[in-house]
Amino acid sequence: MQDVSALENAIGITFTNSQLLQQALVHRSYLNENPSFELPHNERLEFLGDAVLELAVTEYLYQHYPNPEGELTNWRASLVNAATLAAVSQEAGLEGYLYLSKGESRDSNSKARNYILANAMEALIGAIYLDRGYEAAAGFIKQWIIAKLAHILEHKLYRDPKTAFQEAAQERLSLTPTYHVVSESGPDHNKHFTVAVRLGDAEVAQGVGTSKQEAETAAAAAALEAKSW
């Protein structure tokens, strides 16, 4: 296994059980090519980390902001979405430590890689929770993820992209966007959907997500950017 001490220094967490950190970095594809590898893939840690992340962010927002539930829900969604988590993974330097198949290592598809990075960040949070407890995990989340909140609020990145795109399309073009599944892949427990958003017959953009709703949201966000709305 690789030396992860530099990664521990980067994220500010020293693990008692370094195998938990190693496991958080193991993508399923790596085990397909290396079935004798001593650690399992990171999907169970990802499942745990997702719950810890949502609780920590929800708790922080509840304690620090008196805003209505709907606003806090949108803010939370902006903090825990795949784009934010992938960016944090890159900042923390996780990408260079991921255990990936040769095919995934060569894949230049930024959308697919971003989901791997986002999932690894959730798995890392799960690993921190198991190794160091909730307070350490929440501290990590505050330092690396909740720290993005000021930027999100300043630039109003918390707006629901589907609502924003629909309002803009109706106001500017008197058209209502429609969403269409282009493809879906992966096993039932780890599906990935690609969805296109159209205005009339013209495709504006595509988005990828682990659910149709998430993919539609990603497509709407891409469409807002494509149209500069």
Residues annotated as catalytic (active site), given as ranges: 50, 122
3-state secondary structure (DSSP) of residue 35: coil
Q: List the end-to-end C-alpha distance of the chain, in Å, as a whole number.
A: 47
Q: What is residue 65's DSSP assignment?
A: -
- What's the one-letter identity of residue 200? G
3-state secondary structure (DSSP) of residue 44: helix
Torsion angle in degrees (nearest 10) through CA of 103, 107, 112, 118: 80
Region of 186 on the Ramachandran plot (φ > 0 left; ψ -120 to 50 alpha; else beta): left
B/e letters for 175-198, b = 16+ CB within 10 Å, e = fewer, are eebebeeeeeeeeeeeebbbbbbb
B/e letters for 16-40, b = 16+ CB within 10 Å, e = fewer, are eebebbbbbbbbbbbbeeeeeeebe
Q: What is residue 223's DSSP assignment?
A: H
Q: Which of 153, 212, 204, 159 is nearest to 184 (CA)?
A: 212
3-state secondary structure (DSSP) of residue 119: helix
C-alpha span between 132 and 126 (Å, rounded): 10
